[in-house]
């Protein structure tokens, strides 16, 4: 602006020659003006350069501004996404809080139910303790009742003995009077002699006795169990014996073998010597007898006691616990008649050996007294071979008889040979199969029946492959 003002003033002076100025000063003025123009040009150049720099800086600023705007938009997007995530996390947190509160309520309800269950358990434990006390009291009362029953039986027997003795004395006095008085109508009838008390006997070996070590006095418990079981069996199956009788139990064992066989007693929680002492102290007619060295001595003792009791008219019934092997089959061969079967009962430990089973004596299983066992595999295999051999012979006989036209006799023979081997639940099935067998009349079908029959031993049924 100063240069333009200066030039315009200068031109006005040229147009006015009358100003009276000289030429030399104008030249100097022009040089100065040129310098000013150059100075202004350089200034303008500097300003243009500065403007270019400013413009480049402005471009850079615009670029940075655009970058900042882009970054701002990205940051805004991230903020929005983070805000959405925060909202989602907050909602999830709220849901978790709700679930937590719900679970807290459920846990509280479970705690309440658990407290109620604990109260119930405490009540049940108190009831169990009361029942255990009642059971202990009941066992004591049962033992006392058994002892009282034995004492009552002894008192009844003594009363009967005294009564018959009094009647005997009365008879003797009346006979003395009859000798003095000859009138026959005044003579009293002669009374019979006093009968002795009947008894039942149990002969057994202790190898199959049930473990009773959980009781405080296992020998006493065992004796009471045996006494009660025999009494119940007599009252149920032999009411003709009556209510007044003695129970004699004789246990035969080998004391020396029992002492040397210490490993056998490791499975029990009681002392065998204490057990035997408690057993024989419970009842006066319960004996634990040492038969001597050797297993055959126990067998001899049992045989001789059996022969003694079976011929004694006072012995009304015999329980024989010797069913683990066939060693007593020869002893029982001569007693396969109705009178002996009514007087004899075999006590089985869950099975009966086949030779004893074929004799058809009455068999019982006292699971509360004796251990129940399965028949040994060798006995089952032997019986299976016998059954297969009998089925083959029956099949061959049937084929031969069928060829002659006689099938009914063989069918009856086959049914009678295998019917005793079956449990009651198999008898109907066998009868149905026998009818089908009679209709088809084929020997192969007989072998099929016998090969599929179960081997029955006491209360144990084993499927033989």
How does DSSP classify residue 189? P
Domain ranges of the chain: 123-186, 199-373, 378-462
Count the neighbouring beta carbons within 10 Å of the beta carbon of residue 346: 23
Average pLDDT of the chain?
Answer: 73
pLDDT at 149: 81
SS3 20: coil
Per-residue pLDDT, averaged over 32-51, amounts to 85
Read off the tokens for 13.
């002076």
Which of 462, 425, 461, 431 has the alpha carbon at shortest distance from 449?
A: 431
Q: What confidence tier does 14 reach under pLDDT thresholds 50, 70, 90?
A: low
Token reading at 227: 């006494």
Q: How far apart are the first and last CA of the chain?
A: 132
What's the CA gap between 149 and 138, in Å, rounded? 16
What average pLDDT score do residues 329-348 get? 86
CA distance 255 to 283: 21
d(CA 23, CA 372): 159
* Residue 42: band (very low, low, confident or very high) from pLDDT cuts 50, 70, 90: confident
Among 213, 244, 247, smallest CA distance to 230 is for: 247
- Give me 282's structure tokens: 């419970």
């Amino acid at each position: 602006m100063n240069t333009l003002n200066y030039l315009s003033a200068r031109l006005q002076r040229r147009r006015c020659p009358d100003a009276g100025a000289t030429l030399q000063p104008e030249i100097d003025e022009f040089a100065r003006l040129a310098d000013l123009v150059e100075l202004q040009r350089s200034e303008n150049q500097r300003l243009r350069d500065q403007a270019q720099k400013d413009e480049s800086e402005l471009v850079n600023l615009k670029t940075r501004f655009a970058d900042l705007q882009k970054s701002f938009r990205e940051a805004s997007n991230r903020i929005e996404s983070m805000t959405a995530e925060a909202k989602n996390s907050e909602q999830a947190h709220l849901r978790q809080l709700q679930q937590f509160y719900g679970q807290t309520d459920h846990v509280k309800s479970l705690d309440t139910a658990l407290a109620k269950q604990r109260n119930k358990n405490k009540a049940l434990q108190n009831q169990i303790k009361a029942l255990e006390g009642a059971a202990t009291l009941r066992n004591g009362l049962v033992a006392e009742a058994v002892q009282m029953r034995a004492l009552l039986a002894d008192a009844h027997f003594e009363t009967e003995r005294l009564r018959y003795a009094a009647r005997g004395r009365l008879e003797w006095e009346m006979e003395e009077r009859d000798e003095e008085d000859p009138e026959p109508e005044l003579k009293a009838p002669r009374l019979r002699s006093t009968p002795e008390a009947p008894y039942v006997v149990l002969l057994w070996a202790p190898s199959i006795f049930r473990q009773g070590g959980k009781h405080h006095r296992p020998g006493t418990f065992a004796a009471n169990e045996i006494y009660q079981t025999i009494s119940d069996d007599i009252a149920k199956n032999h009411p003709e014996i009556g209510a007044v009788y003695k129970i004699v139990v004789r246990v035969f064992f080998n004391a020396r073998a029992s002492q040397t066989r210490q490993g056998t007693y490791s499975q029990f929680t009681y002392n065998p010597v204490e057990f035997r002492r408690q057993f024989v102290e419970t009842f006066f007619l319960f004996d634990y007898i040492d038969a001597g060295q050797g297993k055959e001595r126990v067998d001899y003792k049992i045989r001789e006691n059996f022969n003694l009791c079976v011929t004694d008219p006072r012995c009304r019934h015999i329980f024989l616990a010797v069913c683990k092997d066939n060693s007593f089959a020869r002893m029982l061969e001569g007693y396969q008649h109705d009178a002996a079967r009514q007087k004899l009962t075999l006590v089985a430990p869950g099975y009966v050996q086949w030779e004893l089973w074929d004799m058809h004596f009455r068999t019982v299983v006292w699971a509360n007294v004796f251990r129940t066992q399965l028949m040994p595999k060798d006995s089952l295999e032997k019986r299976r071979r016998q059954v297969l051999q009998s089925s083959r012979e029956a099949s061959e006989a049937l084929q031969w008889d069928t060829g002659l036209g006689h099938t009914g006799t063989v069918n009856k023979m086959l049914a009678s040979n295998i019917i005793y081997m079956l449990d009651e639940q198999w008898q109907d099935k066998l009868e149905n199969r026998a009818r089908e067998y009679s209709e088809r009349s084929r020997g192969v079908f007989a072998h099929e029946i016998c090969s599929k029959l179960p081997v029955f031993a006491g209360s144990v049924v084993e499927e033989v492959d």
